[in-house]
Copies of this chain bind each other. A is one copy, B any other.
Amino acid sequence: MSGLRRRGIGRPPLSGPEAEANPLSELSFEERRERFLEAAVRLFEEKGYKNTSVEDIAGELGFTKKVFYYYWKNKREIVQEIHDRGMALMNAQLDAVMKEEGEPGARLDAAIRNHLRTVLRDRSIAGTLLGDFEFSEETLRARREYTRRFQRLVEEGMAAGVVRKTDPQMLTFAILGLCNSVGAWYRGDGRLTDEEIIDIFAAFAARGWRAAAG
């Protein structure tokens, strides 16, 4: 969020001719900033991150790129923000799952389905499409923290006898790797619905993690 401070949140709306034709002129700085982010998400999903230029993003809202740079430092800053929100959501979902009472197997399954849902939702910035993207140290820390907490769910399941006894880190990597791989091919216009895909992949994962019924 330091970007918001740095780029002068609270400045008055643009004045001059652009402001008159400006479909965002009624909005606050932060709301307008958000519109650019939403336009970027749409374009990333349509054409991919790499094939989307700042001109394209500004053009979606009827602006030149000069206007874009009033709200965002560059395309990377938007991607970083989308990714950070995705991570925050995933960590919040994991918090919710970990706070729930309940059978450890059901909790792990819920965590897997949440993870899959976020990958499908955030397909525009799926890890595999952004292999060259240098995320901030903070983002990488958040990712590692997420993986560690996910592994804790796996270990709890092992202790309770519902998760197969094997290397907990490898099992965690297998589950998350499987889930993340969906982002590499999913395009949102296929023959299966999101929920069908989630069911298939969660079931595949469950066969991998579930201990044989005693």
User: Taking beta carbons and an 8 Å cutoff, which residues of A are in contact with B?
Assistant: 50, 127-133, 166-167, 170-171, 173-174, 176-178, 180-182, 184-185, 192, 197, 200-201, 204-205, 207-208
> Contact check: which of B127, B129, B185, B204 meets A208 at CB < 8 Å?
B204
| A131: chain B residues within 8 A (beta carbon) | 127-133
> Contact check: which of B133, B171, B204 meets A174 at CB < 8 Å?
B204
Cα(A173)–Cα(B177), bound, Å: 12
Please state the number of chain copies in the assembly. 2
Listed from nearest, the 8 A-B pairs whose CB atoms lie closest are A177-B181, A131-B131, A204-B208, A132-B132, A207-B207, A178-B178, A174-B204, A170-B200
| A171: chain B residues within 8 A (beta carbon) | 200, 204
| A180: chain B residues within 8 A (beta carbon) | 177, 181, 184
**Chain A: interface secondary structure?**
helix
Additional 17 contacts, C-beta under 8 A, given A127-B131, A129-B132 = A127-B184, A128-B131, A129-B131, A131-B132, A167-B192, A167-B200, A170-B200, A173-B185, A174-B200, A177-B178, A177-B182, A177-B184, A178-B181, A205-B208, A207-B207, A207-B208, A208-B208
> Contact check: which of B132, B184, B192 meets A50 at CB < 8 Å?
B132
